[in-house]
Structure 1
Amino acid sequence: MERDNPIKVYIITGFLGAGKTTILNSLLQQFTGSRNIVIENEVGKVNIDAGLIDAKIDQLYELTGGCICCSLDNDLLEVLGNILGQEQRPDHVFIETTGIADAGNIIGMFHLPDVQRHYKLESTVCVVDAENIFERLQQAPETGKQVAAADVIIINKIQQLPVPQLVYLSQQLEQMNPLAFITTSETGTVSRKDLQFREKPFPGKEAVAPVKQPHKINTVLFESPIAFDLNMFVFVLDFYCNAYPDQLYRIKGYIRAYNSKEKMLVQSTGRYLHIVPAGEWEDANPSSTLVFIGRALKSATIQRMLAPAQKEKV
């Protein structure tokens, strides 16, 4: 399989009991007619969830006894390598993570050059339990990281939730991750169309939480016409992503590089930082725009963090 025809990858995350396996089954039923492989991860030595996947798949890999975001990361890379060695490669790979996985580190693996050559991460889906998501956010920091890293958030098990509470929950999740497409499900049924990439506009500075937040995860929007020294920018962000992974969950946006007409797409999840050219600026006076998602982030702190990398004063 050539680089221009990579294997499409979907990552399914969510805390324990959110309904990941049910969602996965729903999606697999809609991918019949294509060759699908599932990678199932479970912290325990026996993977019970693997027996619950009843949709038609061509092959199932079980990774047990640890989490693919940390202790089993090399095992995941080995599985991805084994898939490439198959005579008939799959069209899609679905990865269901453990409930306590740091999704950012798994996503980062698919930004590695050797992996990108053969795989394309289509979407990261986070399944949340409508009835207890706020409790989970308080109990486990991994839940917040999963929400922040998602391209699609599925609010599952909404049948018992009154409409005002569902609206409130949707608003809170959008405040936590304004980059994600949010949809709902009653019993774990979701359309494959919801996995399609949607480029959402960045939130404006006027965006505020509708009511007091029952969590500490927030979004900071950084905007500046001052150009960045690209090398220094990479150094600064790489340092902070590695130094504060439990506070800085995700970064996405475009920056203006000094002495360059190209805008640079910036993405970070977990400890992985990915910066690539994204075409020329359409504006005559371009401005860098970055969205930071994390725990108790402050605008002044972000500005102070980036200041050493800014090259040009206006």
Structure 2
Amino acid sequence: MTATIEVPKRGLPVTIITGFLGSGKTTLLNHILNNQKGMRTAVLVNEFGEISIDAELIVSSEEDLVELNNGCICCTIRDDIAESVLRLMERSDKIDYLVVETTGLADPLPVALTFLGPELRDLTRLDSIITLVDATNFAPDLFNSNVAYSQIAYGDVILLNKIDLVEEAEIERLEKRIREIKEDARILRTVNSAVPLELILDTDLFQASSLPQEEAHVHDSHDHHDHEHDHDHCEHPDHHHSHPSHIEADGFNSLAFESDQPFSLDAFQNFLNELPDAVFRAKGVLWFEESPERHIFHLSGRRYTLSSDDWPRQPKNQLVLIGQRLDTARLREKLQACIARPATRGRGFGR
């Protein structure tokens, strides 16, 4: 069953895609359009003529808008991004998610600030900035360009693309160079921009503190990350719907864990403390022996949120971990070790 993602009450989530010409932005947009399910996604681009859209997918086509039968809408940016977003949001059919592609020669900062500005900040929420980097065309002199520097400095996720065309030593050199610009960069290695959508959409990775300080202080009130979503969609964490097998060839993999026994809260906290960096995303519903409530868990990068409500049915643990080259057997073993020992059962509220 595909999990549908509820839109948080605090505005339409927005992901900005940036990166130099030829880095794979259009390929990534196609990947999103072809693989998103359960959400009505709008893609705002400079020119959607570049996006290869199957004729059978098109429901209707206007001058600057194409509607697809999988719920996606492609729209070209008119003169002004804010105006284009407002036009999209005025449509009678609700949009769940917005992806904006910048031009290859653009600094993403002005685009980000548009969503934090007075026209859009109460209607939208900037979820993440995704930067594509072409591993085959990553000459050091690119870094003399303020635009290339900014694209990496403001990227919440860096997709190091076309890694199938370069040697491992070169990839490692590029990653080191990226980390010199952004120390804690989350770098995903990709081929043909193929990445599980859970790692780039609805991740809530954007932080206003990553903007230049003179810009950021204006938007501090927007930087809220220890929040609680409306988590009804988490009941069936689904680990298949955006993991076609060709993605797994690029080293992305996932682990689905279920147990009808509760976790020990301390043991699970230790598990999180030791979680390898290769785990980029996790989500699920958790049952702790110390609590009678259902706990809804989301992890993106190093940050996680835990909210709680009542169990609608028999309690159980359901958790999905997504990452790159994960040792799933070892992770499963560690999760199994989090299950509360029978001798301690009953001291808490476990049912």
TM-score (norm 2): 0.51
Q: CA RMSD in A?
A: 3.0
The match for 1:276 is 220
SS of corresponding position for 2:139: helix
1:40-55 alignment to 2 at 5 Å?
A: 40-41=45-46, 48-50=49-51, 52-53=52-53
- Choose the corresponding residue for 1:107, options 112, 119, 131: 112
Q: Does 1:143 align with 2:148?
A: yes
The match for 1:123 is 128
Q: Aligned AA for 1:106?
A: V
Query: Does the Cα contact within 8 Å between 1:124 and 1:152 map onto a contact in 2?
Result: yes
Against the structure 1 CA distance between its residues 126 and 53, is the aligned structure 2 distance closer, same or farther, given a 3 Å change threshold?
Answer: farther
- Choose the corresponding residue for 1:32, options 32, 37, 45: 37
SS of corresponding position for 2:169: helix
Against the structure 1 CA distance between its residues 9 and 199, is the aligned structure 2 distance closer, same or farther, given a 3 Å change threshold?
Answer: closer
Against the structure 1 CA distance between its residues 2 and 48, is the aligned structure 2 distance closer, same or farther, given a 3 Å change threshold?
Answer: closer
Partner deviation per Cα, 1:54-99 (whole Å, 9 max, x = no partner):
58453222137xxxxxxx4xx1111111122111220011111110
Which structure 1 residue ranges, 5 or more long, are not aligned? 65-71, 201-251, 253-264, 280-314
The match for 2:138 is 133
1:143-182 alignment to 2 at 5 Å?
A: 143-182=148-187
Query: Does the Cα contact within 8 Å between 1:105 and 1:271 map onto a contact in 2?
Result: no
- Choose the corresponding residue for 2:191, options 186, 189, 194: 186
Q: Percent identity?
A: 26
Q: Rg bigger for which structure?
A: 2
Which structure 2 residue ranges, 5 or more long, are not aligned? 1-5, 58-69, 225-351
The match for 1:214 is none
- Choose the corresponding residue for 1:62, options 56, 76, 82: 76
CA distance in 1, matches of 2:110, 2:16: 12
SS of corresponding position for 2:109: helix
The match for 2:103 is 98
Q: Aligned AA for 1:172?
A: R
The match for 1:81 is 86
SS of corresponding position for 1:187: coil
Q: Which stretch shows the higher mean deviation, 125-134 or 171-180?
A: 171-180
Query: Does the Cα contact within 8 Å between 1:105 and 1:270 map onto a contact in 2?
Result: no
The match for 2:27 is 22
TM-score (norm 1): 0.57
